[in-house]
Chains A and B, each alone.
Chain A
Amino acid sequence: MIDANVLGQLLLMQTVLISLPETDSFFSFICRGLEDLPGIASVRHSFDKKPIVDDSVVLFMLSRSGVSYGQIELVVSDYDQYLPYDDCLRNFMFMVEIILEERRQKRLSVECKLGLEKLVNIRDQQLSKESKEKYDIQEALIESENKYEQIFNATSDGILVHDIDGDQIYDANEPFLKMFGFKKSEILQTTPDFLSSGVSPYDKDGVKNKIEQVIKEGPQIFEWQAKKSNGEFFWIEIYLTYTSIAGKNVVISAVRDISVRKQTQEMLIHNEKMISVGGLAAGIAHEINNPLSAMMLSANILLNRLYGQKKQQPSLEIARELGLSYESLVEFMDRCKVRKMLNSLLESGERISDIVSNTLNFTRKSSAEPTNCDVTKILDKSIELVTTGYDLEKQYDFKSIEFYKDYQSDLPQIKGHASKLQQVFINLLVNGAQAMCSSGKEQLQFNLRLRFIEDEQHILIEIEDNGPGMTEFTRTRVFEPFYTTKNPSDGTGLGLSVSYFIITTEHGGQMSVESQFGVGSKFIIKLPVE
């Protein structure tokens, strides 16, 4: 069982880490904090690359985007105590990597922007200065122009130069054109607001406000929702400056694509929430178990005493002692619907017991050893299982749904638990079918996609339906325990949460969902290939 206080410690460490400068201090804080975790004897950070052969040492290599931040070595004194926290620590280390990478990116960004500003100033001075020799001016100008052009295009950030009214674009560098999918001749015909999503505040008024701000208050850094030439929205970070080039006032936007960072942040926040909510739910479930068992046991004994075949003797004796007729007593109970109520009590108890058992799965890892799994076979078997049944009560029928399979052949096997993965697939297929059948659409279909992503060494599984889709509110909460859009009688709100934990905690994978309201939903699973 995971101690919620330890989860609290890990979350608090993440918060404090952000305040610590990136030096030895950052790692000494981590090491001192992790020393108190259950089952850990000592913790060390180093840049050694020596392989560790000691079984009692757990190693976390910290690296991101090809940059190494060393390794953290945990000397484990009690593996049983440590094991429940292994996944939490992996998430924690991932967060540490992200913090370090963010800092590195920020540092690079500042260096790049300072360099660019300096260059613009030099060029401006060169252009403004009156030279004695016309020839020299031209030469200097050509040289400066070449130098400017080279650096203008060599920077990894996109750069856009436009007027202070936001009506005319003067220039854009190669990375900017690539990021937005335009040719230079095309972009010069557009305006900055055309490159924005158009969703307030990322529209024409928003552009004007930002320009006013940079003129009044100086350089601005902010996030912006932008639009590519194909209409796709994406997130960028803009460093906006106001300057003058060759006597003309211009606004320069240094732009960076932060879509991946945004997704990572969303995933991290979600992971943190799932760990804390899952841990809490499991804690409550554990507390419910004992009184629930007592309640169900009592209900069972009552039923047996009143109606059981073999255990009537003690009841008969008590009735006889009290001068009551046992048959009349049972008749009385029946007429008062006691039997019905007791059965209802037991049914409800069983339902609670199912919920408790599912909830406890949040923090309980499967004790079985993972085996080689063929994801294609498991997915096909899941489809076979769900399509052979028709549930009248639930009002969905797989026979009315088309399955379009786009499977890559020769997928590598993964290490995992086939039955658990089947549980996830069945859950997604049944949820999708329920949603599609309730949408009133005529042509219902699942698009199933399997791919091996070699660079990232994982199997990608996509299960897409053309049901009613979800609102953004629902999409961000869909994996939270007990969150459901169904009637209380149709679902507990645990299916997707349990699936999420099976994929992330038990298989070290990732699970996310994309959805467009009115169009459909796509669940994306990534399972690592060892």
Chain B
Amino acid sequence: MEKERKKIVLGFTDQEFDQGAHICQIFSDDEERHDVLVNYIVSGLKGGESTACFSDNESEASLMEFFKENGLAYKELENSGDFTLSKTAEIYFENGEFIPEKMLSLLKSFYSNSKDKGCAGARVVGEMSPEVEHVSGGDRLLEYECMVTMFQKEFPVTAVCQYDARKFDGATIMDILKVHPQMIVKGKVVNNPFYVHPQDYIAKKIKTSEYK
């Protein structure tokens, strides 16, 4: 039996969610991506959640002004560890390798630290880079997304995964959709009709021998 979870807002929509949601954003417009990202980060920090951002397209300068407008002190939050900004490759492909287990362990310590510090919750936003298709272990991306969904059942880290439709192949985008329970459509979060439960998804992949 899952524990009742705290309700949170995501900043870019008025909807309320349980902590530990796993949401996907397929975008083709940088402004659309940036809007979701900054509103999500700011609402998390305002709600007292420990927040992490993994993106190649954001910098201290691009976020600083938005933080200021919302009464948040960027440096202070960074120094206290309540907010971290990292490049995608630094986090996902450390040493040029993508290892899902390592990512999950990172998410787990991120969650534990936030809990130890007494934060109201933990949330991440990660923009996946197309480089993933060329690094060792990159073929485990979908497996990783499935693992995140299962991980969240125990550790309610809220996650928004951003994918640039201009940089990934259409079939890959469709596969990515299938491993996210919810997705952002025109600024709203909707239950994803393509979503396949992680265990079913992995079982199907094993059957078709695409997955070892």
Contacts and interface: CB of A to CB of B under 8 A. Distances in A.
Interface of A: 5-6, 8-9, 12, 15-16, 18-21, 24-33, 36
Contacts of B134: none
Contacts of B174: 28-29, 32-33
B193 A8 contact: yes
Contact of B165 (A9, A19, A24, A33): A19
Contacts of A31: 171
B64 interface: no
Which 4 pairs from chain A and chain B are nearest by CB?
A: A29-B170, A8-B193, A19-B28, A25-B170
B28 A12 contact: no
Residue from A12, A16, A30 whose CB has the most chain B CB atoms within 10 Å: A16
B73 interface: no
Contacts of A20: 28, 165, 170, 173
B191 to A, nearest CB: 8
B26 A32 contact: no
Given A25-B170, A28-B171, A33-B174, 5 more contacts: A8-B193, A19-B165, A26-B170, A29-B174, A32-B175
A19 B29 CA distance: 8
A19 B169 contact: no
A524 to B, nearest CB: 31
Contacts of B165: 16, 19-21, 25
B194 interface: yes
B135 interface: no
A36 B170 contact: no
Nearest to B192: A12
Contacts of A25: 165, 168-171, 173
B202 interface: no
B110 interface: no
11 contacts: A5-B193, A12-B192, A16-B165, A19-B26, A20-B170, A24-B170, A25-B173, A27-B170, A28-B170, A29-B170, A31-B171
Nearest to B186: A15
A36 B177 CA distance: 13
A24 B172 CA distance: 12
A36 B195 CA distance: 11
Size category, B interface: 20 to 34
Given A19-B165, A20-B165, A20-B173, A33 B185 contact: no
Given A19-B165, A20-B165, A25-B169, A33 B194 contact: yes
A29 B171 contact: yes
Interface of B: 26-29, 165-166, 168-171, 173-175, 177, 183, 185-186, 190, 192-194
A453 to B, nearest CB: 37
Contacts of A29: 170-171, 173-174
B177 A16 contact: yes
Nearest to A25: B170
B161 to A, nearest CB: 15
A505 B165 CA distance: 33
Contacts of A15: 185-186
A12 B193 contact: yes
Contacts of B185: 12, 15
B156 to A, nearest CB: 26
Residue from A12, A18, A29 whose CB has the most chain B CB atoms within 10 Å: A29
A23 to B, nearest CB: 8
A299 to B, nearest CB: 39
Contacts of A12: 177, 183, 185, 190, 192-194
A483 B175 CA distance: 39
Contacts of A28: 169-171, 174
Contact of A36 (B183, B192, B194): B194
A33 to B, nearest CB: 5
Residue from B171, B183, B185 whose CB has the most chain A CB atoms within 10 Å: B171
A27 to B, nearest CB: 7
A278 to B, nearest CB: 17
A21 B29 CA distance: 12
Nearest to B170: A29
A20 B174 CA distance: 11
B94 to A, nearest CB: 29
Nearest to A35: B174
Contacts of A18: 28
B27 A30 contact: no
Nearest to A23: B170
A30 B170 contact: yes
Contacts of A16: 26, 165, 173, 177
A272 to B, nearest CB: 13
A36 B27 CA distance: 23
B186 to A, nearest CB: 7
Nearest to B194: A9
Nearest to B32: A19
A21 B177 contact: no
A32 B192 contact: no
Contacts of A6: 193
A288 B185 CA distance: 32
A25 B27 CA distance: 14
Nearest to A11: B193
B79 to A, nearest CB: 38
Nearest to A29: B170
Contacts of A26: 170
Nearest to B196: A36
Residue from B26, B29, B175, B186 whose CB has the most chain A CB atoms within 10 Å: B26
A2 to B, nearest CB: 13
A19 B24 CA distance: 14
Nearest to B28: A19
Contacts of A30: 170
Contacts of B170: 20, 24-30, 32
B193 A32 contact: no
A371 B186 CA distance: 44
Contacts of B26: 16, 19
A26 B171 CA distance: 9
